[in-house]
Every structure is written in structure tokens, then in C-alpha cells.
Structure 1
């Protein structure tokens, strides 16, 4: 029995660690994109919006779109690992009903919903996708300004 629980716990830990790794990858990618875009915007601020700056603004559009797509993919991977971990947690909880694992999580969830009713509905991955879309829109707007001015 202990070997089975140990195996379940190890699988659960593996999925939670994979989920953390996915979030770290998303954070790293977002940070890189923000740094590159900030440097590009600084360069534009120094030189002005000229035709030669399309070499900066068009990649901004691409970085924003790539970042948004990557965030969606990271969310998909995260959802997979969280789902797997949740299933393993339920299996562990069913083997140890006296620990009241699910009841404790339900109560914590209920308190969280009461404390943050609006924010609870907002999905964090959509915040990251929106940030990257804003970068893409800024790149497109600056490119359009350069081309059509």
C-alpha cells in the first residue's frame, strides 16, 4: 500500500513541477520580449519614426503575435499538468478519507471566491495574452504610422 501511495505522490509532484516549469518558461519568454520591445521603442524614441524604423516596428508585431500564441500553448500544457495532478490528488484523497483533503480544498476555494469575486473569474493566461496582443498592436500601429505618414 505504501509503495502505491509513494508512486502516486511522485507522479503528483512530477506534474506540479512540470506546471511550474511551464510557468517559468512563459515568464522568461515574456521578459525577453518586453526587454527587446523596450529597447526597440527606446531606439525609435531617439531616432524618430522614419521608414528605416520598420526594421524595429514590424518585428514588434511578430514578437507580440508569437508571445500571444506561446502563452496560449503554455496555458494548454499547464492545464494538462494541473488536470493530471488533480486526478492524482483525488485518488490519494480517496485512499485517505480521514485527511479531508477535498473538503479542505473546497472550503479554501469558497473563501477565495468570496474574497475576490471578480478577480477569481479573470484568467491569468488571458492577461498575458492581452499583454502580447498589445505589443503586436503597438507594432502594427507604429508600422502603419510610418507607412501611411
Structure 2
């Protein structure tokens, strides 16, 4: 492997590491959002949904919206690093450090055929939807506490 190929491979490795880091941070942030929402929900229920708990319910809404925006941002960063890694993979193929063709496309087609619906469902929509559901839950608590 040439020095140029080794440099490209090192940069490719860094991009893949950054991609994993974005996914890991998104997961950790989601855990925090869920723990905060659960804790505030317990406090609201303990107070029997009194009107004084409306600010706590509003905080659940804010935390859920923050989570949705942050999850979307982590998706954007992960996509950036993935596109960089794909470009570097092309560079490695052009350098001859990787074979020009692989069996990967055939396996990808088989995978999509095996999971036609799930393969079209984007994971980032599930992450973002979860956070939006937390915000909606907070809105429901605001309504319940207001009555």
C-alpha cells in the first residue's frame, strides 16, 4: 500500500470513528431525555397533576423538542461523516488499494429484498419521532394539569 493510500485509509478510519461517535452521542442524549421525562412525570403524578405542575410538564415539552432537534443534528453529522467515508472509499478504489468491484452490492440487494418495508424506514425518523412523542406527552400533561 502506498503512502497516499495509507493516508487516505487513516482519514477514512477517522471519518468512520466520527460517524460512530455521532450515533453514540445521539443514543446517550436520548437516554438523558427519557430519564428526565420519566423523573418529571413521576413528580407530576405524585403531585396529583396539580396546576402547579404545569411548568414541569412544559419542561418535558422543551426537553422533548430539544431532543428532536439534537437527534436531527446528530443525523446530519453522521451523514456528513458517512459521505466523506464513501468518497474516501472511492479514492482508495481509484488508488488500487481496494478492488474495483466487490460482492457488497449483491448482498445489499438481497438484504433489501428480505426486508422491503423496514429497509425503507429511516432510523433517524424513529429517533426524532421518539423525541417528538416525549414533547407530545409533555403537552398532554400540560392539558391534564390545566383541567
In structure 2, the partner of 1:117 is 116
In the TM superposition, what is the alpha-carbon distance from 1:107 to its structure 2 partner?
1.6
Q: How big is the shift at 1:98? A: 7.0
The match for 1:88 is 88
| Pair 1:33-2:55 in alignment | no
Higher helix share: 1
After TM superposition, the structure 1 stretch with the greater mean CA deviation from structure 2, 78-87 or 39-48, is: 39-48
Mean alpha-carbon deviation: is it higher for 88-97 or for 30-39? 88-97
Matched, 1:47 2:47: yes
Which residue is equivalent to 1:145? Answer: 144
Alpha-carbon shift at residue 96 of structure 1 (Å): 2.7
Output the CA distance in 2 between the equivalents of 1:104 and 1:10. Answer: 24
Structure 1: state its 5+ residue gaps. none
CA RMSD of aligned residues (A): 1.5
CA drift at 1:54: 1.4
Q: Which whole-Å CA distance do the structure 1 matches of 2:125 and 2:132 have between them?
A: 10
Give the equivalent residue in structure 2 for 1:128: 127
Q: TM-score, normalised by structure 2?
A: 0.93
Query: Which TM-score applies when normalising by structure 1?
Result: 0.92
Aligned length: 147
